[in-house]
Chain A
Amino acid sequence: MLKNGVVTQTALRVILVDDHSGFRAAVQSLLALDEQFAVIASTDSAESALEIISRAVHDHEAPPDLVVMDVNMAGMNGMVGAARMVAEHPGVKVVLCSTAPLSQLPPLPRHDDITFVSKDSIDPDALREWASRQRA
């Protein structure tokens, strides 16, 4: 979290979104090794992720810092979901991921708070670094 440009020691609150539960479970156990991550929710659609965030905001709870979301899902796809998340909830950052390389995907939404990572090379250190980087 950024507070006056200083990284605090509180853990990054993460939501995992993918319709493949195996991937969610694997990422959850990967992030569980690292105390700087706290997975607060895990869900199978962008719609339900948006709902979780809205409910948190409504209940005056802290929104997630980071959403790790699959690009290609049934219903709302990850790109649309990501664009809505960053638009509706400033401060939320989205990492889109896919088994396909970026070149084989439709153009991602252009936004500083949205990035892409290939599913098989997802790495907690890189995630943290990107999520905590100082905004220009």
Chain B
Amino acid sequence: MNASNQRLERAIHANLIGDLAAQVLVLGTWVFLVHSRWVLALWMVRWIVVLGIALAQRLIRRQQRFRAVIVLAGGHALGALLTVVILPEFVPIIMLVMFGDLQLAKYLERRHLRPYLTSFVALAAGVAALSIQSWTGLADSAAQWVVISAIVSHAAVTGAVTAQFGRESYVNLRMREQELQQLSGRLLIAADEERQRVANALRRGALVDLGVLADRLTTARAALSGRQDEVVAIAEASVTEAQRSLGTLRTLSHGIFPDALRSYGLRTAITSLVADVPSEAQIDVPEARYDPSVELALYRCAALMADHAKSSAGTLSITATALPHAVRMVLTVRGGDASPVDPAQLQHVSDRIGAVGGELTMSGIGSDLTMTVEAATAVNAAAQTVEAAEGAPTPDDRRSDHRILLSFNKAGATLAGAGLVSATAVWLITRRPSAGVVAAVLVVVLVAALWSLRKVRVGNFAAAITALCASTAVAGALITAALPSFVPMTALLTVLPMVLALPYLAHRALNVIGFVQTAALAVVTLCGLRDQSLFDHSPLPSSITWVFVVLSTAALSAVVAVTEVETHAELGERTAQVQRTLRRVVDASDSERQRIERDLHDGAQQHFVALSVQFRVLARLATTDTDTERANSLIDALLAEIDEASHDLTALVEGRFPEGLSEGRLADAVRRIAAQSAMPVTVETTGANNVPVQLAAPAYFCCREAIQNASKHAGAGAQLRVRVDATDHLLTFEVSDDGVGFDPYARSPGGGLRSLRDRVEAVGGTFTVRSELGNGTTVTGQLPIGVAALVG
């Protein structure tokens, strides 16, 4: 069962339990408290709803999601229509329940969305129309206090539940977004740490070893004339030394990216992985190749389970199956000692699988432990298409949020305007004070909507939402007090703030809004129970009431429906974007690992292989040949080989993690790049030689990329200025040139800049590129110091 179905099942289950409990309560009330036909009727109608929920539960357990949603909403709809006919006083509660059902839209496919929303609007209008007239007069048979307390308590509970339900679904999405963001931060920081670890290992290991070998050669050369035994001993010791260095280097590069995985793929890599598992292992993995990040993530799963098989003395079996756009791998350890897998390591592999958009599940029966992993193999290509379609950079990520609030405000202002015109017309014709009150209220709503529109445009979302919340709550209460028949519309109006505020406000602010909204709803419900207007003694003509109640309810419910669905889609899109960023981060760091491993394999490792063979030649020469000339030229060749190896390794290490960076000496490192640049560079730094290492690395690579880009693109005669400043709280860098510049909207940032932005953002910083044709390019970054530690 997928996660979305599971969530729906949980929601339906909670719904069923709640409704059954409510049924017991209502029956109890009827039996022990008030023997009223009204309560009994309520109890009987509610069974339709309960039946719908129970059916939906059965359907979702059979994975029939669409049917489950339709049956659930259908049960509610039928219950709503019957309730409103028998007990029209319940109409605000019905509107609330329907609003809750609107959230079910997220479980539907796109093509079902429009019919679903249209039915929502039609049903809302229908319920509103039916609610105007009392069809049965059942409520008159009950005591006033019974009806009031039943409805107000019902409204409060339903309001709170609906608010909670809505909040939870959004909070879940937002939490997922935050989790993904933290995960990508963790992965980037881990990649930097690994780079640093590798650089240090090479500086202290292979590079030192090469120095030792060079020294030995100098000693050997001195011993060539006469002390042949010594030369042989030195050469033989050097063979061992070179072999040892090679072994260390191989272990190091295996940890970065397994050589077998890069060269031959999963099948060979996993087979070699289980070579040292004592008990017989069964491996059935296809030859196919996938993205490095997918292969590495799957390999890490296999490594974890192989370790587990070894430590628990179980039998390992690994089966991988290629699906159309994914690969599924089932890893089982049978008959082990039932010890658990190390949770930290499990979290790590699960993070990696999550980062490539896959899912990992563990299950255990007795002493058997099964890990099932599914990773998408085509995600990357899809993500790139989307990125390409997005085109030019969007400097303001909140622009689309902005768009929803703007369009909602515009629709709200239009509705308020139309309402104002109608109310004024009705007031002018009928001269009823209630119409006048409504017109006055709508003036306030209109002004609030316009004010809020301005606030949205300047980016002050909190002020905009607060204005809307306050105006809808007041308007809801006053309009209902003036015209009680409008309660279906005003009930919807009162729940609006929640739909709007969800994506923008913090959890606590949402709780405050939920509370205020529930209170406002209770007031609205109370006002709606009155037969007469608070400001008027004779009601409006029923035809006018009828038309306006239906129209306003339909219009408002349409706005609510569209906003709700758009907001949800927006949040989903934001999560998807974070997921894409994460994938990009992982792909970038895994490709780099692969490059480092390949550089080590093709560079340093081959040099050490050649050295070990050449030293053997030297040993033989010294044993058999008394002619020192050949030995001398061989020593020259060996020294040249060592020189080349040191040069390659230094370039690799300096390129990936320059000297001094791990001690935070950012300014020195930046000055070194500037010194190597072909164009004139002035560097100014303050306090940037004692920077936290997790900030020094991203800042360094940004500066380096910016300087290299400037050398390539700024044009002849351009000057480059680099500033790096660090205070106690902030690290800033700026690389600016006065060259030809580029049109930032014509060109989307290249992969290099994008991955740099990801790295800066992972440590809570900002990264901007400003350029204009003819006016140079400026790259700036700001990284908060002290926050980075929290991200890690």
Please tell me if the beta carbons of B260 and A100 are within 8 angstroms of each other in the complex.
yes
Please tell me if the beta carbons of A120 and B609 are within 8 angstroms of each other in the complex.
yes
Rounded to whole angstroms, the CA-CA distance of A23 and B611 in the bound complex is: 9
Please tell me if the beta carbons of A33 and B617 are within 8 angstroms of each other in the complex.
yes
Contact with A along B446-463 (1 / 0, CB 8 A): 000000000000000000
Q: Which of A30, A105, A123 contacts B260 (CB 8 A)?
A: A105
Given A22-B641, A104-B272, answer yes or no on A30-B616 (Cβ-Cβ < 8 Å): yes
Contact with A along B634-647 (1 / 0, CB 8 A): 10010001000000
Please tell me if the beta carbons of A106 and B268 are within 8 angstroms of each other in the complex.
yes
Please tell me if the beta carbons of A120 and B272 are within 8 angstroms of each other in the complex.
no
In the complex, B246 has a CB within 8 A of chain A: yes
Residues of A within 8 A of B396 (CB): none
Query: B residues 255-273 with Cβ under 8 Å of A?
Result: 258-260, 263-264, 267-269, 271-272
Please tell me if the beta carbons of B613 and A27 are within 8 angstroms of each other in the complex.
yes
Q: Which of B258, B275, B609, B641 contacts A99 (CB 8 A)?
A: B609
Rounded to whole angstroms, the CA-CA distance of A25 and B609 in the bound complex is: 11
Query: A residues 39-74 with Cβ under 8 Å of B?
Result: 72
Please tell me if the beta carbons of B275 and A103 are within 8 angstroms of each other in the complex.
yes
Rounded to whole angstroms, the CA-CA distance of A28 and B640 in the bound complex is: 17
Residues of B within 8 A of A99 (CB): 246, 250, 601, 605-606, 609
Q: List 22 A-B contacts (CB under 8 A).
A: A22-B606, A23-B610, A23-B613, A29-B634, A30-B613, A30-B616, A30-B620, A33-B620, A33-B621, A72-B263, A99-B606, A104-B259, A104-B269, A105-B264, A105-B268, A106-B268, A119-B609, A120-B243, A120-B608, A120-B609, A120-B612, A122-B613
Residues of A within 8 A of B624 (CB): 33
Rounded to whole angstroms, the CA-CA distance of A102 and B610 in the bound complex is: 19
Given A29-B634, A120-B613, answer yes or no on A22-B260 (Cβ-Cβ < 8 Å): no
In the complex, A84 has a CB within 8 A of chain B: no
Tell me the interface secondary structure of chain B in the complex. helix
Residues of B within 8 A of A105 (CB): 260, 264, 268, 272
New contact pairs (10) apart from A33-B624, A104-B275, CB-CB < 8 Å: A20-B610, A22-B610, A26-B610, A26-B617, A29-B614, A30-B613, A100-B259, A103-B272, A103-B275, A106-B267
In the complex, B602 has a CB within 8 A of chain A: yes
A interface residues (Cβ-Cβ under 8 A, vs B): 20, 22-23, 25-27, 29-30, 33, 72, 99-100, 103-106, 119-123
Distance between B639 CB and nearest chain A CB, rounded to angstroms: 14
Task: Give how many B residues have a beta carbon under 8 Å from the other chain's beta carbons.
Answer: 36
Please tell me if the beta carbons of B606 and A120 are within 8 angstroms of each other in the complex.
no
In the complex, B242 has a CB within 8 A of chain A: yes
Residues of B within 8 A of A106 (CB): 264, 267-268, 271
Residues of A within 8 A of B609 (CB): 20, 22-23, 26, 99, 119-120
Please tell me if the beta carbons of A121 and B243 are within 8 angstroms of each other in the complex.
yes
Rounded to whole angstroms, the CA-CA distance of A124 and B634 in the bound complex is: 18
Rounded to whole angstroms, the CA-CA distance of A104 and B609 in the bound complex is: 17
Query: B residues 686-713 with Cβ under 8 Å of A?
Result: none
Rounded to whole angstroms, the CA-CA distance of A85 and B167 in the bound complex is: 70
Distance between B183 CB and nearest chain A CB, rounded to angstroms: 31
In the complex, B65 has a CB within 8 A of chain A: no
Distance between B606 CB and nearest chain A CB, rounded to angstroms: 4
Given A29-B617, A33-B620, A105-B272, answer yes or no on A22-B607 (Cβ-Cβ < 8 Å): yes
Rounded to whole angstroms, the CA-CA distance of A122 and B637 in the bound complex is: 19
Residues of B within 8 A of A123 (CB): 616
Query: B residues 589-606 with Cβ under 8 Å of A?
Result: 601-602, 605-606
Rounded to whole angstroms, the CA-CA distance of A100 and B605 in the bound complex is: 10
Residues of B within 8 A of A100 (CB): 250, 259-260
Residues of A within 8 A of B243 (CB): 120-121
Q: Which residue of A lies closest to B272 (CB)?
A: A104
Distance between A120 CB and nearest chain B CB, rounded to angstroms: 4
Rounded to whole angstroms, the CA-CA distance of A27 and B634 in the bound complex is: 13
Residues of A within 8 A of B268 (CB): 104-106
Contact with A along B484-522 (1 / 0, CB 8 A): 000000000000000000000000000000000000000
Query: B residues 431-488 with Cβ under 8 Å of A?
Result: none
Rounded to whole angstroms, the CA-CA distance of A22 and B634 in the bound complex is: 13
Please tell me if the beta carbons of B606 and A104 are within 8 angstroms of each other in the complex.
no
Residues of A within 8 A of B606 (CB): 20, 22-23, 99
Q: Which residue of B lies closest to A99 (CB)?
A: B605
Rounded to whole angstroms, the CA-CA distance of A123 and B260 in the bound complex is: 25
Rounded to whole angstroms, the CA-CA distance of A131 and B259 in the bound complex is: 29
Q: Which residue of B lies closest to A100 (CB)?
A: B259
**Of A23, A106, A120, most B-chain CB atoms within 10 Å:** A120
Rounded to whole angstroms, the CA-CA distance of A103 and B621 in the bound complex is: 33
Rounded to whole angstroms, the CA-CA distance of A93 and B136 in the bound complex is: 101
Please tell me if the beta carbons of B613 and A26 are within 8 angstroms of each other in the complex.
yes
Given A26-B617, A30-B613, answer yes or no on A20-B602 (Cβ-Cβ < 8 Å): yes
Residues of A within 8 A of B617 (CB): 26, 29-30, 33
Residues of A within 8 A of B637 (CB): 25, 29
Q: Which of B259, B276, B602, B614 contacts A26 (CB 8 A)?
A: B614
Rounded to whole angstroms, the CA-CA distance of A105 and B641 in the bound complex is: 27
Residues of B within 8 A of A23 (CB): 606, 609-610, 613
Residues of B within 8 A of A122 (CB): 613
